[in-house]
Amino acid sequence: MTEARPGAGRIRSASSSASAGKIPVGVAVRQTAVAVLREVDAGQTVDAALLRVPLGGAERATLQWLVLGTLREYLTLQALAGKLLRKGWREEDHVLRFLLSLALFELRHGQRPAFAVVDDWVDMTGVVQRTWARGLINAVLRRYLRERAALDAAVADSDPDFGHPAWLAARLRAVYPQDWPAIAAANNAIPPLWLRVNTRRIEASAYRRLLVEQDLEAVGVAWSDAALRLPASVPVATLPGWAAGWVAVQDGAAQLAAHILEPRPGERILDACAAPGGKTAHLWALGATSLDALDRSAERLQRVGEALERQGVEAKLMVADAADTGAWWDGRYYDAILLDAPCTGTGVIRRHPDIRLRRHLEDVAAAAAQQARLLAGLWPCLRPGGRLLYATCSVLPEENDAQIATFLGRHPDARHSAHPLTGQTLPGQGEMDGFYYALLEKGA
């Protein structure tokens, strides 16, 4: 999913034509934004909730900006609301919490005239059947506008966690005492749009020229000519050759995986936790010829099928619990395995801001236990002399270095292989997401 302030893209498109301070934040967008926040509050991921929304074009772009931005600042917005309201919301009026958060976010970051923003969100009280709250929302938003500088400063001064949940801020501060402020800043920023050129379809240099023709100056990296970072987000459908699969959206850190595993023609390769298929497609683009892609979620695996088809990727898809090898493995060894394990996602908070609300301290141990189970379950499927790349988009050592140390302690035939691209990247480092990679080799 890409995200941009409405009107920020340089390609002229439905969403960028909505610039010049007149972003349409129509009633459909406002109503859907409230509904999406309700779903996230009920435990749904924001990606899944947004996928189901039937809006397109400028409306979708505005919705994403509004919802992802509000989630990114959610705890700050709650602190602000706490200063503006005399008491909290009753359980049955919970919907007003989301309505007020969205309204405050738009007042803080939107480009529309403040009076129009206030009027529109006050009108929303009727749409969510809380007409009694018209006066209250009106008064609160107007007070925010009057006292904005003081309120913003008071909230910022009283938040040493920079809008992160206390457990996560404490953990990040403890693990990364030096880097914590930079990590927090990266988590709070709109991430850049990273592209991966499908070099089986077009040369990276030729694709870069096409971007320049569209007035898009991409920044490259030393380790791959196919990894390109755009200065601003654009609607992906407007990128050259999008429908023809010439390019995919994939963060730079996620693109490291295939370069570390280095697929060789003829090798039998397993992508054990494949959905939505970004790394499967990249392995194929780098020359993999025999690819099995597995995921426990049939719904997510369907998205893999769609993405692979667009990019022309050939892979065998299987729905299964990767650790339950008795249920899916045919007994033939893999030469290489990618285990992009389910994790806390603490390295990708900037892309999935709902993680701040949905994750809790106890999830760290649960994720680590699941990762250990997957590692142990998949290891017998690897041929002697083969390699397994373990990856997470987490920055917590329990899921990363400590996980690998425990695994090595239990598997004397496993060796940690040195590779210049492995280790921990932190959010924002090289403008990339936070990722962890460990390459393991099996003794012959």
Ligand X SMILES: C[S@@+](CC[C@H](N)C(=O)[O-])C[C@H]1O[C@@H](n2cnc3c(N)ncnc32)[C@H](O)[C@@H]1O
Catalytic residues: 393
Is 343 annotated as contributing to ligand binding? no
For 183, residues 6+ apart whose C-beta sits below 8 A from its C-beta are 172, 176, 395, 426, 427, 428, 434
Closer CB to ligand X, 294 or 414, in the complex? 294
- Does position 347 interact with ligand X (CB under 6 A)? The reply is no
Q: Which long-range contacts (CB under 8 A, 24 or more apart) does 410-417 make?
A: 410/376, 411/376, 411/379, 412/443, 413/384, 413/442, 413/443, 414/379, 414/440, 414/441, 414/442, 414/443, 415/440, 415/441, 415/442, 415/443, 416/440, 417/387, 417/441
- Does position 340 interact with ligand X (CB under 6 A)? The reply is yes
Query: What region does 268 belong to: left with phi over 0, alpha with psi -120 to 50, or beta?
Result: beta
| Chosen residue from 196, 268, 279, 359 binding ligand X by CB under 6 A | 279
- Does position 434 interact with ligand X (CB under 6 A)? The reply is no
- Does position 349 interact with ligand X (CB under 6 A)? The reply is no
What three-state secondary structure class fits 202? coil
Q: How far is the CB of 432 from ligand X (least distance, A)?
A: 14
| Chosen residue from 49, 322, 364, 375 binding ligand X by CB under 6 A | 322
Closer CB to ligand X, 59 or 271, in the complex? 271
Give the integer Cα–Cα distance in Å for 304 and 340: 14
Site string for ligand X, 353-382 (x = CB under 6 A): ---------------------x--------
Closest CA to 283 of 391, 442, 372, 381: 391
Is 321 annotated as contributing to ligand binding? yes
- Does position 38 interact with ligand X (CB under 6 A)? The reply is no
Is 322 annotated as contributing to ligand binding? no
Rounded (5°) CA angle 161-166-170 = 80
- Does position 321 interact with ligand X (CB under 6 A)? The reply is yes
Closest CA to 387 of 262, 249, 287, 243: 262
- Does position 396 interact with ligand X (CB under 6 A)? The reply is no
Q: How far is the CB of 374 from ligand X (least distance, A)?
A: 6
- Does position 273 interact with ligand X (CB under 6 A)? The reply is yes
Upper half-sphere CA count for residue 286 (Cβ side, 13 Å): 22
Distances (CA, A) of 205 to 197, 201, 434: 9, 12, 27
Site string for ligand X, 252-271 (x = CB under 6 A): --x-----------------
Is 295 annotated as contributing to ligand binding? yes
Q: Which long-range contacts (CB under 8 A, 24 or more apart) does 236-244 make?
A: 236/2, 238/9, 238/11, 238/13, 238/214, 239/195, 239/211, 239/214, 240/207, 240/210, 240/211, 240/213, 240/214, 241/201, 241/202, 241/207, 241/210, 243/310, 244/201
Q: How far is the CB of 410 from ligand X (least distance, A)?
A: 19
- Does position 47 interact with ligand X (CB under 6 A)? The reply is no
- Does position 274 interact with ligand X (CB under 6 A)? The reply is yes
- Does position 130 interact with ligand X (CB under 6 A)? The reply is no
Closest CA to 49 of 428, 353, 315, 296: 353
Closer CB to ligand X, 103 or 349, in the complex? 349
- Does position 44 interact with ligand X (CB under 6 A)? The reply is no
| Chosen residue from 278, 353, 386, 428 binding ligand X by CB under 6 A | 278
Footprint of ligand X on 286-315 (CB under 6 A): 294-297, 300
Footprint of ligand X on 87-116 (CB under 6 A): none
Q: How far is the CB of 204 from ligand X (least distance, A)?
A: 20
Q: How far is the CB of 333 from ligand X (least distance, A)?
A: 19
Peptide bond into 263 cis (omega under 30): no
Piece of the chain touching ligand X by CB under 6 A; list 140-148, 218-226, 319-327, 329-337: 319-327
Q: How far is the CB of 86 from ligand X (least distance, A)?
A: 43
Give the integer Cα–Cα distance in Å for 100 and 82: 11
Structure tokens at 282: 């990249």
Is 276 annotated as contributing to ligand binding? yes
Which residues lie near ligand X (CB under 6 A)?
A: 254, 273-279, 294-297, 300, 321-323, 340, 342, 374
Indicate the annotated binding residues. Answer: 273-279, 295, 321, 340
Q: Which parts are annotated binding residues for S-adenosyl-L-methionine?
A: 273-279, 295, 321, 340
